[in-house]
Amino acid sequence: MARRIAAGAAYGGGSIGLIGAAAVGVFLAEVQLAKRQVGGGTAPVPPSADGRYGVAFAGPNDPLRLGLLGDSTAAGQGVRRAGQTPGALLASGLAAVAERPVDLRNVALPGARSDDLERQVSLLLADPARTPDVCVIMIGAN
């Protein structure tokens, strides 16, 4: 009886060890794939999308000023053209809905964390003539 229990424990423990080793192997393979896709920390700087959107709606009204703060998602990490960044898409959509031009100012940085938001807010508020009417915060990926 004791031999059966010992054998069962050995087989069970060995199986759990093999499953754990396989899980670690899969995890390490996924890390390598992610590094190839994302760039492993050496990815190029996201394109700058700052500027005016919705110029077709130019008129007597002042443009809305949109500020974008956050991490790599907000900065547009991974896109090739400025028009593909979240800021550009938001500014274009806001201009279409409001039927007014929108001036976008993006101070988001790849790798930023929640405690970096204070510095980003200071950057947006540094120039009183460019104080945003609306701000969007996209953070949490890091």
Q: Would you tell me how many other CB atoms lie within 10 Å of the CB of residue 11?
A: 10
Q: What are 52-110's pLDDT values in tens digits? A: 999 999 888 899 999 999 999 999 988 999 999 999 999 999 999 999 999 999 999 98
Domain ranges of the chain: 1-42, 51-138
| 3-class DSSP state of 43 | coil
- Tokens of residue 125, six digits: 């508020």
- DSSP states along 69-114: EESHHHHTTT-SSGGGSHHHHHHHHHHHHHTS-EEEEE---TT--G
In tens, the pLDDT along 102-120 reads 999 999 998 899 999 999 9
**Contact status, residue 91 vs residue 102, Cβ threshold 8 Å:** yes
Q: What is the pTM of this model?
A: 0.69
The letter for the amino acid at 35 is K
> Per residue in 31-55, pLDDT tens?
777 666 655 556 678 899 999 999 9
Query: What distance, in Å, lies between the first and last C-alpha atoms of the chain?
Result: 53
Stronger pLDDT, 23 or 137, i.e. the higher one? 137
What would be the CATH architecture of the domain defined by 51-138?
3-Layer(aba) Sandwich (3.40)
